[in-house]
Chains A and B, each alone.
Chain A
Amino acid sequence: MCWLSSKCLAQVSSITVTGSWNPSAAGLITEAGLNYSSYLTSSPNQSLVSLVSVKSNWEVKVEQQNNNWTSDLQLWIRRTGDGTTLGGIGTISGTPTYTLLTSMPTTLFAGTGPDRNDIPIEYQVRGLSVLTPVASYSATIVFTLMEF
């Protein structure tokens, strides 16, 4: 019966992702003879994900598409907060621990309700070593909203 309501035009599912991340390992080694000892970690809200769902249940899947990447490095991702809803309706679930990104879509989080806004996302790069050749390595992170 949506055609009887003004909501009819708003009921289009969508997902938006703001922010990007371009870290550098410059200066992380301060003493000769040592290797990198830590991971590269973004800010806890490096990206913000917002979504509108026309169905009661939804989930967001993530995958990594490699442009100029190296197998030395692993890209990890996690949700660091719940975000907000316009009407306070709905839930969000999914462990906030890090998930390894691969070329296969993996569920990052799931929820219910018509919308969820500004879900904070944090990234981490592991595997960095002085043995990794000098270069800039790039990948694309794909977020997909699935509804059911």
Chain B
Amino acid sequence: MKRIFFLVLLGGSIGQSVVKAQAPNNTKNHPVTVTVPDVALLALASSGSTNFTLALNAPTQAGEPLTAPSTSSSIWLNYSSTVASSGETSRSISAQITSGYVPSGTDLTVAVSQDNGGGAGQVGTRVSIDPIPITSTLSPIITNIGSCYTGKGTNRGHQLTFTLAILPGSYSTIRYGSNTVQVTYTLSDI
């Protein structure tokens, strides 16, 4: 009996030493990675169509000139932008005529308002308080756009006021007719 008791005690000792050797494994972890993407979205907003007509109206009495200028303020520029914290940290919006042409003797300009305050972040700044000629050459109209959003729709973002006027000293080159001009806006990294 003494020998049997001794063996059982030895077995118990071995078992206890195994349990102590297996340390608890009580912590685990895993990674989470969230990707914030580059965002560069630009849209035109209007209460109706973004097409509009500017017309130099004929005089009603002989000897008077065409009625000018003609303006339209129906379009607003909305945008959402997320830039990186280094590298390309700001963007601009440029405009250019990509089809059609402005009738001879006239010029087409756009006046850009400051952002209307419907969004948040680093919204852009208009290039000039003065009207900017719209030509077939890409011309910046809003710069210094960072990470921001303007809000969507009319009365959000920047209002564009287009003006068709008679070029000083060019009245003799005016011809009657109708021209269609397409203006393209581009939001791009500077």
Contact = CB atoms under 8 A, between A and B. Distances in A.
Nearest to B22: A12
Size bracket of the A interface: 35 or more
Nearest to A49: B28
Contacts of A31: 41, 43, 80, 152
Contacts of B150: 32-33
Size bracket of the B interface: 35 or more
A134 B37 contact: yes
B183 interface: no
Contacts of B12: 3-4
B29 A141 contact: yes
A143 B28 contact: yes
A73 B33 CA distance: 11
Interface in A124-148: 125, 128-147
B34 A137 contact: yes
Interface string A19-39: 111111111010111110000
A26 B37 contact: yes
A131 B166 CA distance: 43
A134 to B, nearest CB: 4
Nearest to B37: A26
A101 to B, nearest CB: 9
Interface string B66-104: 000000000000111111110000000000000000000
Nearest to B150: A33
A132 B23 CA distance: 43
Interface string B25-42: 111111111111111011
Contact of A130 (B29, B39, B43): B39
A17 interface: yes
Contact of B30 (A20, A27, A75, A129): A20
6 contacts: A3-B14, A15-B28, A32-B41, A33-B41, A130-B39, A135-B36
Given A12-B25, A19-B30, A32-B43, 5 more contacts: A8-B18, A24-B37, A26-B37, A32-B41, A33-B79
Interface of A: 2-4, 8-9, 11-17, 19-27, 29, 31-35, 40, 47, 54, 65, 67, 73, 75, 123, 125, 128-147
